[in-house]
Amino acid sequence: MIESQQTSPAGAGEVKTRSVEGEGDRAGTRQSGAACRSDHPHPPLRGALSRAAGEGYRQDPRDRGGPAQPLLLVENLRKHFPVRGGLLNRQVATVQAVDDVSFIIRKGETLGIVGESGCGKSTTARLLMRLIEPDAGTTVFDGETVGSRTGISVNAMRRQMQMVFQDSYSSLNPRMTMVDSISYAPRMHGTPRKAATERAEHLLDQVGLNPRTYARRYPHELSGGQRQRANIARALALEPRLVILDEAVSALDKSIEAQVLNLLADLKQRFNLTYLFISHDLNVVEYVADRVLVMYLGRIVETGPVEQIYRAPRHPYTRALFASKPTLDPDRRTTEMPLTGDPPNPINPPSGCRFRTRCAFAQAVCADAAPALSIPFGTPPSDGPGHLVACHLPEAQLAAGIGHA
Amino acid sequence: MSDATIDFIRRELSAQADAPAAPTPGYWKSVRQRLARDPVTIAVSLVLLAIVFISVGAPLVTHYDPYAGSVLARLKPIGTPGHWLGTDETGRDLWTRLCYGGRLSLLAGILPVTISLVVGGFLGILAGYAGGLVGTLIMRTMDVFYAFPSILLAIAICGLLGNGLSNSVIALAVVFIPPMVRISETVTTQARQLDFVEAARASGTTTLQVIRHHVLANVLGPILVYATSLISVSIILSAGLSFLGLGVTPPQAEWGLMLNSLRQAIYVQPYVAALPGLMIFVTSMCFNLMSDGFRSAMDVRLNK
């Protein structure tokens, strides 16, 4: 259902203009994908990306389904963690970390996932990488089902999908130099050491670390921002098509964060990447993402193009989340608490709509059935069908937004 | 700005750009550099080397027969002409006995620890990395061994197998496996949760490669340090087994056994009687200090 609605050509309405500088002059030197591949293992400038699916998307030699086919399609992804206890280590409960999550990532876009701590953002990322085995759900990478007999193997998928972790220090082996860490995966996949080292040094250069200074350094000899750059280089070493950034800039201080975000935008163009950007920082997501996915207690409550969601959030939770975003405008400030308390325990989530226990609009219907993602009430036709919300109540969807913190 | 100044700046900038790569020594070179700055580690390593040398090369440093005694030369004090460390209760040259005794003592110290390091380390890393049912199975089995005090367990196994050096080595190895498993399981469980292990898994490397390159390198340090600390325990325990008539039997030379037989002469020749104990003390101390020193020298994080 989601797939059919979100891959429809109406995506053209969400073309963005930022971060596409330089597209014009690169278009002149555009090469065919095959030519790129033969003369250089990693053509540095395959061209800038238009943000919308199918619009100006440069053909990747590994592309199979064309620009309209989503790069990643996730259907009914579910992970329930058993809680064990008691004398015989029996299962006493389940944590519904991720529950029936379905979404797509289009080629060349940046999909942002936002939500409170513990809403299942990071679990979703780890499920996609298969660092955790999902209980249910299918992942289709560029038209090929992952892990099925007819599709691609998990390892083949992992080579095209890489991840950058939040903690820049613990995600680098403390006993490996930068160049060893970055060249490790290619070496394990059979690239000769010398070639892998050269490529690692090239990647260090690409992320703004001079290889002559930093290649032989250990993680503890670098600053947080430098380490996160090295982590990004490590993720790019296998030439992935999709990079999952799991709170990748959240631990950096603001000026470094801005640098790394610009670097990410730059690398996205240069290496023809697609990002899944997980963050709790709403401002950063607004800056980098094309589409946003709002999660609450393991479920998606709202999804859509970033402008539409930030302009007119429809789910009461999304509105409350945005209201907690600090603002510099004193007139829009309020001391009212947009949301009180913690999210309910995911061990025993509320029936029906999971947000109903904290929702001001909740009615009986909310407890009975979980709302499906559908087009919000009163959407002007010009907005297209990209915006979906999981809420039963028109009045909750159309209520005015609250102020800022 | 004058042309000369501009020229100077340009030269400076190009010099910076062409500067040779920062001196980045290789791993082993940096280990050597750190060792060179640690005189304690060097000293204890030399002492250990000397002990190994006099044990292995015993015939080179003494011309006495370690088993030939003389009734006339019993319990001579330190400094006696011909017997510079004195003689024991049957008139055998003590220096000779200490040299030859080092062979069995070092063997009894190192061999059980090596066996338990390999077996226990393997089981522990397996339990820690696999977790789940495998981990539970291994760890609960080890808990059974923990139910017995270690010396009693060693005595029981030795009694079962009969005496002799090889049996006491087996008994001690069995005694040391459970703590070794526990240590390596703990450090592996900690290491496997780190993001770089996840990152390595996420890049499609095999489990074996992940363990070899990422887990092992980061857990071997604490495991090795613990193992070296066990060497001294092993020397002392094997001495205890010999004392009880299990393990090494007289007239073979072994420090623990010598300590026990010279015990009766403690009022006659206290210094002579203390010498085998001194050897055990010095050896185990050196092993501990050396493992500490090597651990810090090989840790890239404790640099500079």
CA distance A255 to A276: 22
**Chain A residues near residue B201 by CB distance under 8 angstroms:** 131
Residue for token digits 């620009």?
A67
Q: For chain A, what percent of residues have pLDDT higher than 70?
A: 81
Q: What is the pLDDT of residue A372?
A: 87
Arithmetic mean of pLDDT, B141-159 = 87
**Chain A residues near residue B214 by CB distance under 8 angstroms:** 173
Q: Do A175 and B199 touch (CB under 8 A)?
A: no
CA distance A249 to A262: 11
Q: Hey, what are A83's tokens?
A: 């809680």
| Share in percent of chain A as helix, strand, coil (round to 5) | 35, 20, 45
CA distance A304 to chain B (A): 29
Helices of type H across A249-402: 254-271, 282-288, 306-311, 316-323, 364-368, 394-398
Arithmetic mean of pLDDT, A104-121 = 89
Q: What is the pLDDT of residue A67?
A: 78
Q: What is the pLDDT of residue A54?
A: 43
Q: pLDDT digit string (tens) for B48-64?
A: 999 999 888 878 877 77
B→A interface, C-beta within 8 Å? 19, 21-22, 24, 194-196, 198-206, 209, 213-214, 217-218, 300-301, 303
* Best to test chain B binding among A216, A228, A246 (most B CBs inside 10 Å): A216
* Residue in chain A lying closest to B301 (CA): A220
Lowest mean pLDDT among A273-277, A296-300, B42-46, B299-303: B299-303
Q: A90-105 and A274-278 as β-strands: parallel, antiparallel, unpaired?
A: unpaired
pLDDT mean across residues, chain B: 82
Using a 10 angstrom Cβ sphere, with 0-12 exposed, 13-18 middle and 19 or more buried, the burial of residue B79 is: exposed
Residues in A 187-226 with any Cβ partner in B closer than 8 A: 188-189, 212-213, 215-218, 220-221
pLDDT higher at B89 or A104: A104
Architecture of the structural domain at A72-175+239-289: 3-Layer(aba) Sandwich (3.40)
Residue A171 touches partner B, C-beta closer than 8 Å: yes
Q: What is the pLDDT of residue B302?
A: 57
Q: What is the pLDDT of residue A23?
A: 40
Q: What is residue B163's DSSP assignment?
A: S
Nearest to A128 by CA among A148, A150, A101: A101
CA distance A84 to A309: 39
Q: Do B203 and A188 touch (CB under 8 A)?
A: yes
The crossing angle, in degrees rounded to 10, of helices B150-161 and B216-243 is 70
Q: What is the pLDDT of residue A233?
A: 92
Distances (CA, A) of B262 to B65, B91, B250, B273: 18, 12, 12, 5
Nearest to B194 by CA among A277, A254, A219, A47: A219
* Residue in chain A lying closest to B196 (CA): A171
Q: What is the pLDDT of residue B25?
A: 57
Lowest mean pLDDT among A15-19, B13-17, B247-251: A15-19
Arithmetic mean of pLDDT, A100-129 = 90
Q: What is the pLDDT of residue A69?
A: 86
Q: Do A184 and B213 touch (CB under 8 A)?
A: yes
Q: Hey, what are A50's tokens?
A: 């238009």
Q: Do B195 and A174 touch (CB under 8 A)?
A: no
Q: What is the pLDDT of residue A114?
A: 92
Q: Do A131 and B203 touch (CB under 8 A)?
A: no
DSSP states along B15-26: HHHTPPPP----
Residue for token digits 């921002």?
A225
For residue A46, how many other CB atoms are within 10 A of its CB? 20
**Chain B residues near residue A215 by CB distance under 8 angstroms:** 24
**Chain A residues near residue B209 by CB distance under 8 angstroms:** 188
Radius of gyration of chain A (CA): 22
For residue A98, the surrounding DSSP H or E stretch is strand A90-105
CA distance B223 to chain A (A): 16
Q: What is the pLDDT of residue A362?
A: 83
CA distance B121 to chain A (A): 20
Q: What is the pLDDT of residue A338?
A: 64
Q: Count Cβ neighbours within 10 Å for each residue of A211-239 and write b for 16 or more, e otherwise.
A: bbebbbbbbebbeebbbbbbbbbbbbbbb
Q: What is the pLDDT of residue A162?
A: 92
* Best to test chain B binding among A132, A157, A167, A188 (most B CBs inside 10 Å): A188
Q: Do A175 and B218 touch (CB under 8 A)?
A: yes
Whether the pLDDT of residue A402 is over 60: the answer is no
In the structure, what pLDDT confidence band is assigned to residue A400 with cuts at 50, 70 and 90? low
Radius of gyration of chain B (CA): 26
In the structure, what pLDDT confidence band is assigned to residue A41 with cuts at 50, 70 and 90? very low
Q: What is the pLDDT of residue A275?
A: 94
Nearest to B93 by CA among B60, B71, B72, B64: B64
pTM score: 0.74
Arithmetic mean of pLDDT, B141-150 = 87
Q: pLDDT digit string (tens) for B181-213?
A: 999 999 999 888 888 888 888 888 888 888 888
* Residue in chain A lying closest to B304 (CA): A221
* Residue in chain B lying closest to A239 (CA): B203
Instruction: Enumerate domains of chain B plus CATH numbers.
Output: 38-302 (1.10.3720.10)
CA distance B179 to chain A (A): 24
SS3 of A404, please?
Answer: strand
Q: Do B203 and A158 touch (CB under 8 A)?
A: yes
Q: Do A185 and B204 touch (CB under 8 A)?
A: yes
**Chain B residues near residue A167 by CB distance under 8 angstroms:** 195
Domain ranges of chain A: 72-175+239-289, 315-405
pLDDT higher at A52 or A368: A368
Q: Hey, what are A377's tokens?
A: 């009430």
Q: pLDDT digit string (tens) for A9-34?
A: 444 444 444 443 344 444 434 344 44
In the structure, what pLDDT confidence band is assigned to residue A150 with cuts at 50, 70 and 90? confident
Number of H helices, E strands in chain A: 15, 11
Q: What is the pLDDT of residue B223?
A: 87
**Chain B residues near residue A216 by CB distance under 8 angstroms:** 22, 24
Q: What is the pLDDT of residue B139?
A: 92
